[in-house]
Structure 1
Amino acid sequence: MAFKRLLPLVALLSLLVAPPSSAVPSLQPVVLVPGNTCSQLEARLTDEYEPPPASGCGVPRQGRGWFRLWENFTALQEDSFLFRCYADQLRLVYDPRAGDYRNVPGVKTRVVAFGTTRSFGSDDPARKNVCMEGLVEALERVGYREGENLFGAPYDFRHAPAAPGLASRAFSDWSSSLRLLVERASQRNGNKPVVLVTHSLGGLFATVFLDRTPLRWRRRYVKHLVMLCLGVGGSPLNMWPLASKALASNPASLQAAVLTYGNRSFASMFSLLPSPRVYGRTPLVITRDRNYSADDMPEFLAAAGFSGDEVARYRTRALPVTLSLRAPLVPMTAMNGVGVPTVDQLVFWDGNFSGKPQLVNGDGDGQINLETVLALQRLVEADPDQPYFKSILIPNTTHKGMISDQSALKRVVSEILIGASS
């Protein structure tokens, strides 16, 4: 194996005027980038918002300032009527004139607490171990302190990087904010470069971010990239949420709308689909009449009910990002779980995508299969300019277990500390 818009003003001021750090002085600053749906969103409604007919969604909130849109488990427990409202207000629409995704008219949104890890928490007990709360606690036990040498870079998970030359204002704004956060975190800690630690979809965001920053900047400000639970080829499992239009349009809960079956309006829905570069002609969705491979993704999306314009956006916005993923050219450790049944193929034998498929499993962490992890190894090791790369496979570790199981957390923290000192 080879070894080779800006930050919110309040967040910036807290970095610049905070008192001297009481954290362990030898520690490198760490910036955490969470996984999909692990960043909290607030919303504000204006008079332009038109709620679904007979829903009453706009009346309680219009003109009343910011409120928690995602994730608001407590409010939904108190008033389940809000589910339809939140689901509608989370939708994105594509603006062909701007060539970009935006909120539905009359809905303003913002990410909560950028620059900190406070956005990673959830008020839903069932999701306590899904995001990075456990990792934050583990890092604090070894001396890390919020706002001193531990920072967070949450993002609007509904959006995604677009192909170069195409608009993605949300990702561009996040990238500008992350760049400034990294620089300020370094300055706050004696000009030490930072360790970027990502989980799941956050790894894709960080990888594209690094690829689009000057190499000189990367080598000055990024000490190490520790990427958890992500390869470079997407996952066949991510085809399931897009297969059933009926389930996606009539979910049982807000979590189902966003998590279980996905939301077809999100720009990010295409981001982790299987890559032709990794899977090629291998059948991934199987029916009696025909099979669909990664090479056949446009045909699969059309069969699943996506419009011609939506399929075109997959081709032009998302696919080029997947195909152009490259080594980050900073020291890197990839950590992935293996030994857990993970979907390799979906069988809809009668061609009815609204039904539950038969699952053909292979190896992986329950969400990311081993093939895409091995593809990451091949990609990074093949680049002679990649300074250092290590791949760690942890047996019997799930996707969320990587950031919640104590044994896995111990390995992750160890790699963060090793990478910081290498």
Structure 2
Amino acid sequence: LVYNATTGTTSNVPGVDTRIPGFGSTETVEWLDKSQASPGRYFTDIVDMLISFGYRRGKTLFGAPYDWRKAPSGLVYNATTGTTSNVPGVDTRIPGFGSTETVEWLDKSQASPGRYFTDIVDMLISFGYRRGKTLFGAPYDWRKAPNELTDMYLMLKSMIETTYRYNDNKRIVIVAHSMGNPLMLYFYNNFVGQDWKDKYIQAHISLAGAWGGASQIARLFASGYNMDHYRIILPPSKIRIMQRSFTSSAFLFPSYNLWNETEVFATTPNKNYSMANVKEFFFDMNYTDGWSQYQNTAYLLGKLEAPNVEVNLLLLCYLILNICGTSTNRVNYLRFATMTSGHCNIIVALGLTYSDPKKNTPLPPQ
């Protein structure tokens, strides 16, 4: 029960809550077999990998050259199977499944850059929720697309069923952020049936859900994405090879379901890129594996079939596209000097239309 000190009354705790984090939002522990792996750092989480590398541990990128192609956090993509594996000599695990600890803070030091679900969890606890009883987390290997996460989905299904039984058959509320939303859509439509959803799921709450992909992913593939950290500390081009190796990156590429062939997501002085020429986008940057990754992940969600559970949306319509209709009022795209330049500008424009996309006419100057 939740006690109200003002009225002196109580009310029931509203259901059981499970949190599904987004891209780059799960703590990852990695360790090296020194007999196989190349020398280098290992990262305990995404904050260490993208922020702490530069300054929090007194290291910089200006020392000995670091080979990001062999970075422990990277993956090795197999174009034949469409799946990935760890860099040789590296083992990984995703700690804390079922616990909220590793989704509240992405960094064990609990420094502010790693703050994630902390405030939301604290608020729910003030309402009467309890960690490990009515409040759970479902961290996963965010580097991988849903077709590589079967084990996680089976663990999630089991945890939901167990939690339901231990809480007097109260249905579960799923709270997902960013990539966690299309990840759960894959679960709803491929791992469980309607009877199961009716029995166990109360509602799904989507926080800035990347249902239609994210235009930032085009930036990631072309020039690398350092989460807008200082470029002098963490140049995007230095982490691009590693980020390209994640099949989750291709999974979050702008979706054909919400982007049509007239909507440009990237441009150079000579060419526009839209859903009409995705293959050229990857080939022009000399990253042909990207086209293979895209083909293996772009269609995992089919036609974005509804999950047939109650869905509540909290939208942040900027660079992340949400399900808010068949089109958006704001068009975001990336402008590159060349596709291999390693640098882009983000262009935000309102109400742009493209009268003859078949000719790939460059966009007007901004």
Pair in the same fold by TM > 0.5: yes
Equivalence for 1:189: 167
Indicate if the aligned counterparts of 2:186 and 2:301 stay in contact, CA closer than 8 A: no
- Aligned residue-pair number: 318
Indicate if the aligned counterparts of 2:244 and 2:290 stay in contact, CA closer than 8 A: no
Structure 1: stretches of 5+ with no match in the other structure: 1-22, 62-66, 163-167, 364-422
CA distance in 2, matches of 1:109, 1:329: 34
Q: Shift of the alpha carbon at 1:253?
A: 5.4
Structure 2: stretches of 5+ with no match in the other structure: 1-9, 320-328, 352-366
Residues 292 and 74 (structure 1 numbering): CA distance in 2 closer, same or farther, change over 3 Å? closer
Equivalence for 1:179: 157
- CA deviation map 1:247-292 (0-9, x unaligned): 99xx865795899997111111112211122221122212222211
Equivalence for 1:277: 257
Within 5 Å, give how 1:200-219 maps onto structure 2: 200-212=178-190, 213-219=192-198
Indicate if the aligned counterparts of 1:208 and 1:325 stay in contact, CA closer than 8 A: no
Q: Which deviates further from its counterpart, 146-155 or 114-123?
A: 114-123
Equivalence for 1:6: none
Indicate if the aligned counterparts of 1:89 and 1:104 stay in contact, CA closer than 8 A: yes
Indicate if the aligned counterparts of 1:257 and 1:263 stay in contact, CA closer than 8 A: no
Between the aligned residues of both structures, percent identity stands at 25
CA distance in 2, matches of 1:74, 1:334: 33
1:44 aligns with 2:31: yes
Equivalence for 1:345: 333
- CA deviation map 1:320-368 (0-9, x unaligned): 12443221111111111358997612222565642332513459xxxxx
What is the letter of the counterpart of residue 343 of structure 2? G
Equivalence for 2:177: 199
Q: Shift of the alpha carbon at 1:125?
A: 3.7
CA distance in 2, matches of 1:334, 1:245: 29
- CA deviation map 1:133-181 (0-9, x unaligned): 121111111111100100000111111113xxxxx2xx11110111111
- CA deviation map 1:39-80 (0-9, x unaligned): 1011222245321xxxx338xx8xxxxx83544467863352
What is the letter of the counterpart of residue 186 of structure 1? Y
Residues 259 and 31 (structure 1 numbering): CA distance in 2 closer, same or farther, change over 3 Å? farther
Equivalence for 1:229: 208
Indicate if the aligned counterparts of 1:237 and 1:344 stay in contact, CA closer than 8 A: no
Which residue, out of 278, 282, 285, partners 1:297? 278
More helix by share: 1
Residues 152 and 259 (structure 1 numbering): CA distance in 2 closer, same or farther, change over 3 Å? farther
Q: Please provide the CA RMSD for this pair.
A: 3.5
Indicate if the aligned counterparts of 2:225 and 2:239 stay in contact, CA closer than 8 A: no
Equivalence for 1:127: 113
1:327 aligns with 2:306: yes
